């Protein structure tokens, strides 16, 4: 059985969601409250971060790597045979992680994470402006299909949505991007998403 280490309000959410979509047995270990710094956890996972999984003798950290592995091993249609579709999954996933998530995390720092005296509302607003061209890209990617790759729900939707889901709570409006807003709302209605969210 897979042992999955996660924590609420972390990148582990995208792995938790995928595990629920896959419907495979797993043991969830909530590492909230500083447990990731324990000597026992660091001996298993020197990165000291979640998500982290043990699957047999494989240990793996980094959420995208974990999700790709789980999708390829257990995911059926979530990991397509077509090399072009797999390339698009990588494209959208890397796009979200390397371009979009850093902007949203920077906004988060200046909205909530930093001590109030160190927050800069101008930097938060600048981040919201920087989000606009990326949201246009995502909106364009949803013109012909309801999902990002191959016209069907898949691993790219989970990874990208887990990032875009931070936008509205941080004051990034989605009103000008109706396809994106509808796509995100549709994904959040999925039973697997709801089960993962409720467990955290």
Q: Which residue has the tokens 């494989």?
A: 58
Pair 66, 53: CB distance under 8 Å: yes
* Cis amide leading into 2 (omega within 30): no
pLDDT over threshold 90, residue 33: no
CA 71 to CA 65: how far, in whole Å?
A: 10
Q: Could you tell me the residue ranges of all domains in the chain? A: 2-77, 81-190
pLDDT recorded at residue 89: 97
Q: Can you tell me the mean pLDDT for 187-195?
A: 98
Class for domain 81-190, per CATH? mainly alpha
- Name the CATH code of domain 2-77 (choices 3.90.330.10, 1.10.260.40, 3.40.30.10, 3.40.50.2300): 3.40.30.10
CA–CA distance from 69 to each of 107, 155, 164, 191 (Å)? 30, 11, 22, 22
Predicted confidence band of residue 200 (pLDDT cuts 50, 70, 90):
confident
* pLDDT number for residue 165: 97
CA atoms within 13 A on the CB side of 175: 2
Cα–Cα distance, 153 to 76 (Å, whole number): 12
- Give the tens place of pLDDT for each residue, 90-148: 999 999 999 999 999 999 999 999 999 999 999 999 999 999 999 999 999 999 999 99
Q: Residue 50: is its pLDDT beyond 90?
A: yes
* 2-6, strands of its sheet edge to edge: 26-30, 2-6, 52-55, 58-61
* For residue 34, pLDDT beyond 90: no
Task: Look at residue 177 and tell me whether its pLDDT is greater than 90.
Answer: yes
Percent of the chain scoring above 90 in pLDDT: 96
pLDDT score of 9 more than 90: no
CA atoms within 13 A on the CB side of 129: 6
| Ranges of H-type helices in the chain | 12-22, 39-44, 63-74, 83-95, 101-108, 121-141, 155-164, 178-188, 191-199
What average pLDDT does the segment 26-52 reach?
A: 94
Domain 2-77 shares a fold with domain 81-190: no
């Amino acid at each position: 059985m897979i042992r999955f280490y996660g924590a609420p309000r972390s990148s582990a959410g995208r792995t938790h969601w995928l595990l629920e979509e896959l419907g495979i047995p797993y043991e969830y270990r909530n590492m909230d409250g500083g447990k990731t710094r324990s000597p026992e956890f660091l001996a298993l996972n020197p990165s000291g971060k979640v998500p982290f999984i043990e699957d047999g003798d494989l240990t793996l950290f980094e959420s995208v790597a974990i999700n790709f592995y789980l999708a390829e091993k257990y995911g059926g249609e979530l990991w397509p045979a077509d090399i072009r579709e797999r390339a698009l999954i990588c494209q959208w996933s890397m796009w979200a992680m390397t371009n979009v998530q850093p902007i949203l995390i920077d906004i988060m720092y200046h909205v909530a994470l930093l001590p109030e005296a160190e927050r800069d509302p101008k930097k938060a607003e600048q981040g919201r402006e920087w989000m606009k061209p990326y949201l246009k890209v995502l909106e364009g990617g949803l013109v012909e299909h309801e999902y990002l790759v191959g016209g069907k729900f898949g691993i790219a939707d989970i990874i990208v949505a887990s990032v875009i889901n931070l936008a509205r709570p941080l004051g990034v409006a989605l009103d000008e991007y109706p396809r994106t807003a509808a796509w995100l709302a549709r994904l959040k209605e999925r039973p697997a998403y709801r089960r993962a969210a409720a467990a955290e």
